[in-house]
Structure 1
Amino acid sequence: MLVLVTYDVNTETASGKTRLRKVAKQCVNYGTRVQNSVFECVVDPGQCLLLKSILTDIIDENVDSLRFYYLGKQRNAKVEQIGVCKGVNVDEPLIF
């Protein structure tokens, strides 16, 4: 399924900057960055629960926020891109 993960981490403190890096690193492990704090993740339900648990453990719920948008299996029917596309189509083979 396609899950859009967005986050807003308060970076006014050193610990906030550390949390931001940790959240971004975990999101990179599960998906593709499409904007600064937005990731498209193609995951199964178990991976989604694990990612949610990992991110919830990292953030400070008093000053940070996470949002998960569950877009389902029909990615092309749900996502419209206008302008520069910085993401990678994870449905196609990745050849470097």
Structure 2
Amino acid sequence: MQQYVLVSYDISDQKRWRKVFKLMKGYGEHVQYSVFICQLTELQKAKLQASLEDIIHHKNDQVMFVHIGPVKDGQLSKKISTIGKEFVPMDLKRLIF
């Protein structure tokens, strides 16, 4: 079953930051600087984490995973509120490999 996962990262080196950003583009929707919303199965999440483990510097960088809940029609828009520009989730199924 796919889960919505918010992935946020703080990478201290610009070169590593770009590598993380490029990797994350294949897994979810870029919603803010260094923040993605992904629809992931447990296997996809494990693959993403393994790839990130190889990129980041463990003493200086941080990647945070926030589990939002199961993927269901319309559910994400009920769990995320914004001030200012509205968040409109896109269909992430076409992004995840």
TM norm structure 2? 0.79
CA contact under 8 A between 2:77 and 2:88: conserved in structure 1?
no
* Pair 1:51 & 2:48 matched: yes
Q: What is the RMSD of the two structures over their aligned residues, measured on CA atoms?
A: 2.2
CA contact under 8 A between 1:3 and 1:72: conserved in structure 2?
yes
The one-letter code of the counterpart of 2:17 is: L
| Structure 2 counterparts to residues 19-58 of structure 1, below 5 A | 19-58=16-55
TM norm structure 1? 0.79
Deviations 1:65-88 (A, max 9, x none): 110001111423322233224665
CA contact under 8 A between 1:34 and 1:85: conserved in structure 2?
no
Judging changes above 3 Å, is the alpha-carbon distance between structure 1 residues 63 and 87 closer, same or farther for their aligned structure 2 residues?
farther
The list of structure 1 runs, each at least 4 consecutive aligned residues, that deviate by more than 3 angstroms after superposition, is 85-88
Query: Any gaps of 5 or more consecutive residues in structure 2?
Result: none
Judging changes above 3 Å, is the alpha-carbon distance between structure 1 residues 46 and 23 closer, same or farther for their aligned structure 2 residues?
same
- Among all aligned residue pairs of Structure 1 and Structure 2, give the percentage whose two residues are the same amino acid: 35
For residue 10 of structure 2, what is the aligned residue in structure 1? 8
* Pair 1:66 & 2:63 matched: yes
